[in-house]
Amino acid sequence: MLRSENVSKEFFMRKGLYGGTKISALSNVSVSVREKEILGIVGASGSGKSTLAKIMVLLYRPTSGRIIYNDSDVSNIAGRRLKKYREDVQMVFQDPYASLDPFHSVEWHIKRPLIISRYRGNIDGRVDELLEMVKLDPPVYFKNKYPNQISGGQRQRVYIARVLALDPKIIIADEPVSMLDVSLRIEILDLFSKIRDEFGIGIVYITHDLNTVSMITDRIYVLKNGVVVEEGSTEDVLANPREDYTRKLIEAAPDPYKRL
């Protein structure tokens, strides 16, 4: 449904005064998201996974390679087509403290995408519905709150409701729970599973944490220094990691069940 074909991304970075160096964030990355699946993209920090997320929503453009959505090349689209594409492919950011505008209410954050996408029904009713969907109940209680008045977990729910308002086909979630307390993580991840099950939205879950990956994803890609080193169904990869790197990642993940 959405796939990257040999995508590479280079950044030009000026180091001190001594001219610039090219930093290759991704090289020849090919990943694909199937309809209604939860895909995991796993890697340590600096592995290029956030860059990949931003390329998938076209905040960055690939230096080489293509992004294919529904069999058409979207790598260089702009204007109306870009807007249309972004109604289908949305992103959830890592830090819910940074991704909501501190000067606007919860209601505003959910209303804007409805207005922009010309939602035909009752907008106020839809806002309530969306808030209930992400388990911010009762909606009246949250609607007029500002981001600084609610908790991190609640903020992430508001953000998910904002994204759902556009009725997307795919949501790319870049470390959506890493800033949250462990107790809240599972609830948010459950919410993603529910979104997939109920609305058939494909989810790309990007993380460094292999535990949470094992809970919800169907397939995973392992990314190391901008290169895909391993892929396959989640069970297979976690049970029989072929790469040292993957093994290290598995060892590094604290196993919540071990302690019990």
Partner 1 sequence: MALPIKYIINKTSLFFIIFFGAISLNFFLPRLIPGNPAEVVYAEILKAGGSGINPSYLHQLEAEYGLSSAPIYVQYLVYLKDLFQGNLGVSIAFYPEPVFSILAQALPWTLFLVASSITISFFMGNLLGRYAGINRNTIKDLSVNIFGMFMASFPAFVLAFILLDIFAVYGKIFPLFGAYSIGMTPGLNLPFILSVLYHSALPILTIILTSIGGWILGMRNNIIPNLNSDYINYAENLGFKDYQIKNIAYRNALLPNLTGFAMSIGLSVSGVIIEESIFSYPGVGMYMITAIDNLDYPLMQGIFLMVIIAVLVGNLVVDLLYGFLDPRIRQEGE
Partner 2 sequence: MSEVLNNSNDESVGISKGLRHLLSGVAGSIGMLLRNSKAKVGFSILLLLGIFAIVGIFFSPYPPNAYIFAKSLPPNRINLLGTTGYGQDVFSQLIAGAAPTLLVAFSVGLLGTLISLAVGILSGFSGKRVNSVINAVVNIFLVVPGVLLIMLFGTYFLGIHRNLGYLSTIIILIVTGWAFGARTFRSITLSISKREYVLSSILIGESRVSIIFRQITRAIMPVVVSNFFFTAMYGTMGLTFVEYLGVGNLEQVNWGTMLYWAINNEAYLTGQWWWILPPSIMISFLMFGFILLNFGLDEIANPSLRIFLKKKPKKVDENA
- Separation between Cα atoms, residue 222 and residue 220, nearest integer Å: 7
- Separation between Cα atoms, residue 19 and residue 224, nearest integer Å: 27
Q: Considering the complex, state which of residue 166 and residue 215 has its C-beta at the smaller distance from partner 2.
A: 166
Q: Which of 6, 73, 98, 254 binds partner 2 (CB under 8 A)?
A: 98
| DSSP structure class, residue 150 | S
Q: Is 32 a binder of partner 2 (CB under 8 A)?
A: no
Q: Which of 2, 4, 17, 112 binds partner 1 (CB under 8 A)?
A: 17
116, interface contact from partner 2, partner 1, none, CB < 5-8 Å by kind:
partner 2
Provide the angle, in degrees to the nearest 10, between the axes of the packed helices 152-164 and 182-199: 20
Stretch that binds partner 2, among 26-34, 102-110, 131-139, 243-251 (CB under 8 A): 102-110
Of residues 31, 26, 85, 18, the one with CA closest to residue 57: 85
- Separation between Cα atoms, residue 52 and residue 8, nearest integer Å: 9
Nearest-approach distance from CB 135 to partner 2, in angstroms: 21
Q: Which of 13, 78, 140, 260 binds partner 1 (CB under 8 A)?
A: 13
**Which residues does 22 contact at the CB level (< 8 Å), separation at least 6?**
10, 11, 12, 13
- Separation between Cα atoms, residue 42 and residue 15, nearest integer Å: 29
Q: Considering the complex, state which of residue 76 and residue 240 has its C-beta at the smaller distance from partner 2.
A: 76
Nearest-approach distance from CB 210 to partner 2, in angstroms: 21
Question: Cα angle vertex 66, ends 65, 69, to 5°?
Answer: 160
Q: Which of 6, 11, 84, 244 binds partner 1 (CB under 8 A)?
A: 11
Stretch that binds partner 2, among 26-34, 62-70, 86-94, 236-244 (CB under 8 A): 86-94
SS3 at position 194? helix
| DSSP structure class, residue 182 | H
Q: Are 41 and 221 in contact (CB under 8 A)?
A: yes
Site for partner 1 in 58-117 (CB under 8 A): 60
Site for partner 1 in 119-148 (CB under 8 A): none
Stretch that binds partner 1, among 7-15, 65-73, 112-120, 157-165 (CB under 8 A): 7-15
Q: Footprint of partner 2 on this chain (CB under 8 A)?
A: 13, 15, 23, 25, 45-46, 57, 59-61, 78-80, 82-83, 86-87, 90-91, 93, 95, 98-104, 112-113, 115-117, 159, 162, 166, 225
